Chains A and B, each alone.
Chain A
Amino acid sequence: MTDTTPASPRPAVIAEGLPVLVQSDRDEVAQAQRRAARKPTSWLLTVFVLICVGYFLLPLFWLVVASTKSNADLFSTFGLWFANFNLFDNIKSVLTFQDGVFIYWAINSAIYAVVSAVGASFLSTAAGYGFAKYTFPGKAALFAITLGAIMIPIAALTVPTYLLFARAGLTDTYLAIILPSLATPFGVFLMRVYASDAVDDALIEAARVDGVGELRIFFTVALRLLLPGSITVLLFSLVATWNNYFLPLIMLNSQDKFPLTVGLALWQSTAAAGGGSQALFSIVITGSLLSIIPLVVAFLFLQRYWQSGLATGGVKA
């Protein structure tokens, strides 16, 4: 599969599509000027888009409403409006159910996501910088393989990775989740595009003349300039790892190593299969709400940082 990819034109397409993503909010000033030429507000457009926004928020609204209901109310009252306020009892049941296993899941999710994201963005940054600023034999071929790998479906890799890890005795460990999440060819690509712009060749040259070693140049000079781009990659891998279900489902057996996604899915299937034991439903629902809060908050926060970071970080010397 890999040996056919470098020759195909696909990498070129990605290459065309992505600089755009990286550059996105760079010309904030030009934007402001464009906005300054006031255009009339189209109420038709606004109303239509806001109706669609309603659609996007509906499930989240339902989740919040449902989390405040007791099990009995969940089944007997209208789904999209509040009944008796039972949120705190629900949260208490979530946190204490099965000896508080939910708390372990949350901690696991955080460990998997943070370690993978920091690792992946560091590796991508280093590799992207290497691709952008050095020449070495086989560079073109290596980069083509990296790009080709973006097209390899994760699904096609996960089962074989599991079989390999099973042989190495790595399944059902933290490493089983973190290691596969570290290789992000997409991140390398993004960082190469970013590095070729953000780090000035003259700067590297000047440091070299001063006798600074290559590694020190990377850590002291380049890394700071590359930071906004790294945060973009960090954001992508953070979301991807936190939300990943397939990989941990396959790799892990012990409940105390599950991330939230696998744990919640387990509770859900127990609840659905149990039929009569409906006490579980409100736990699943409130657990879902708790599980998305950190990411939604982190996401909104990081998104702002990401945009302003790209705007200021894209200094072309």
Chain B
Amino acid sequence: MLPFFIVFVAMVIVPLVYAGYLSLYRKRLIGGTSFAGAENYIRALTDPLFLGGVGRMAIFLVIQVPFMIALALFFALALDSGMMKLAKFSRLAIFVPYAVPGVVATLMWGYLYGPDFGPFAQISKSLGFGPPPFLTQTGMLFSIMNIVNWAFIGYNMIIIYAALRSLPGELYEAARVDGASEPRIAWSIKIPAVRPALLLTVIFSVIGTFQLFTEPKLMFSLAPNVIGTAWSPNLYAYNVAFVNQDANYAAALAFLLGIVIMIVSYIVQLSTQRKERGL
């Protein structure tokens, strides 16, 4: 296990420490690099672009994650219920988008959304309406949510489904004998039993959401004015580092983003634990 720790330290701990170190300095054209203390952090916390990105991700999180997990849970329960035809085919079909790179997923949906030759626009136009507002300011948020849903519902479904299948059958045989309906069994027995798996999917989704990068980066070429340079915090950190060449500020942004993610996933956990105690 020693080799793992060498790689682990080199690839995780060292960059982390280095980011912390960088974030405390500033670089000027005149005067070189000097210690800046918390300057970069204060700048970030008052930077409307960064805060706007974080806020946008918060909205994204509140709408998209519950929707995605609910659907994933529903599909997992449906497949596990044994009441479906073509269950195996459905499971693979829902899971397959996970194997498609974010780049290709965004490309495909980008073309489908397209106001000129996207099929939705074609249908809408032939019915006498204008092209649907997929790529406008408000539409974009939902368009990107849709891409993320498409890509990750299946992945979350598989985690929940695996948890459901490992439940011992006796757990609900008794309930079935007593005449409980399938939805009732699902709600009262199965869902509480897979709670840890659900929590896991929620926390992974929180981490994933705040790191959104590929989708807005690629959507930029379709709708540059809507995306801008700071649609998501991660996109902003990228632009700061590689367009503005300000590594110190980018390191501070990356660090802050990490802290935001930790806080949010911590809150998610606390709130679910409280519920458990309340039961």
Q: A residues near B, CB below 8 A?
A: 1-2, 4-5, 8-10, 13-14, 16-18, 20-21, 23-27, 30-31, 33-35, 39-42, 45-46, 49-50, 52-53, 55-60, 62-63, 66, 74-75, 78-80, 123-124, 126-127, 129-131, 142, 146, 149, 151-164, 179-180, 182-183, 185, 188, 239, 242-243, 245-246, 249-250, 260-262, 264-265, 268-269, 272-273, 284-285, 288, 291-292, 295-296, 299-300, 303
Task: List 15 other contacts, CB 8 Å, given A155-B237, A245-B213.
Answer: A46-B84, A59-B112, A75-B116, A79-B111, A155-B257, A159-B251, A164-B18, A239-B98, A245-B101, A268-B107, A285-B107, A288-B107, A291-B101, A295-B101, A300-B96
B218 in the interface, Cβ–Cβ < 8 Å?
yes
Nearest Cβ on chain A to B167's Cβ, whole angstroms:
9
B60 in the interface, Cβ–Cβ < 8 Å?
no
Known: A46-B85, A163-B22. A13 touches B196 (CB 8 A): yes
Interfacial chain B residues near A14, Cβ < 8 Å: 200, 203
Known: A153-B257, A264-B103, A296-B99. A63 touches B221 (CB 8 A): no
B 192-223 binary contact with A (CB < 8 Å = 1; else 0):
00101101100100010011011001101110
Which of B18, B78, B117 counts the most A-chain CB atoms under 10 A from its CB?
Answer: B117
Within 8 Å by CB of B112, from A26, A79, A185, A262, lies: A79
A152 with B93: CB separation less than 8 A: no
B16 with A152: CB separation less than 8 A: yes
List 13 A-B residue pairs with CB atoms under 8 Å apart, sorted by A's residue number. Answer: A9-B273, A17-B199, A21-B163, A30-B169, A45-B83, A57-B93, A60-B96, A155-B257, A159-B250, A160-B251, A183-B4, A250-B238, A292-B100
B118 in the interface, Cβ–Cβ < 8 Å?
yes
Interfacial chain A residues near B218, Cβ < 8 Å: 265, 268-269
B166 with A23: CB separation less than 8 A: yes
Measured CA separation A158–B257 after assembly (Å): 13
A21 with B162: CB separation less than 8 A: yes
B12 with A26: CB separation less than 8 A: no
Nearest Cβ on chain A to B182's Cβ, whole angstroms:
8
B162 with A45: CB separation less than 8 A: no
Nearest Cβ on chain B to A242's Cβ, whole angstroms:
7
Interfacial chain B residues near A249, Cβ < 8 Å: 217
A49 with B78: CB separation less than 8 A: yes
A185 with B122: CB separation less than 8 A: no
B213 with A155: CB separation less than 8 A: yes
Interface residues of B in 23-55 (CB under 8 A from A): none
Interfacial chain A residues near B140, Cβ < 8 Å: none
Known: A56-B150, A124-B4. A74 touches B237 (CB 8 A): no
B90 in the interface, Cβ–Cβ < 8 Å?
yes
Measured CA separation A131–B89 after assembly (Å): 38
Interfacial chain B residues near A45, Cβ < 8 Å: 78, 81, 83-84
Interface of A is mostly: helix
B16 with A155: CB separation less than 8 A: no
List the A residue with the shortest CB-CB distance to B120.
A79
A62 with B85: CB separation less than 8 A: no
Measured CA separation A14–B200 after assembly (Å): 6
Interface residues of B in 104-150 (CB under 8 A from A): 104-105, 107-109, 111-112, 116-119, 122, 150
Within 8 Å by CB of A79, from B11, B99, B117, B238, lies: B117
A151 with B84: CB separation less than 8 A: no
B86 with A46: CB separation less than 8 A: yes
A296 with B159: CB separation less than 8 A: no
List the B residue with the shortest CB-CB distance to A119.
B7
B119 with A62: CB separation less than 8 A: yes
Interfacial chain B residues near A149, Cβ < 8 Å: 8, 12
B104 with A264: CB separation less than 8 A: yes
Nearest Cβ on chain B to A196's Cβ, whole angstroms:
14
Nearest Cβ on chain A to B59's Cβ, whole angstroms:
19
B211 with A126: CB separation less than 8 A: no
A179 with B11: CB separation less than 8 A: yes
B75 with A1: CB separation less than 8 A: no
Measured CA separation A56–B99 after assembly (Å): 12
List the A residue with the shortest CB-CB distance to B213.
A246
B92 in the interface, Cβ–Cβ < 8 Å?
yes
B 238-257 binary contact with A (CB < 8 Å = 1; else 0):
10011000010011001101
Interfacial chain A residues near B20, Cβ < 8 Å: 1
Nearest Cβ on chain A to B259's Cβ, whole angstroms:
7
Within 8 Å by CB of B101, from A127, A146, A151, A243, lies: A243
B99 with A299: CB separation less than 8 A: yes
A299 with B96: CB separation less than 8 A: yes
Measured CA separation A142–B93 after assembly (Å): 39
Within 8 Å by CB of B221, from A41, A161, A273, lies: A273
B180 in the interface, Cβ–Cβ < 8 Å?
no
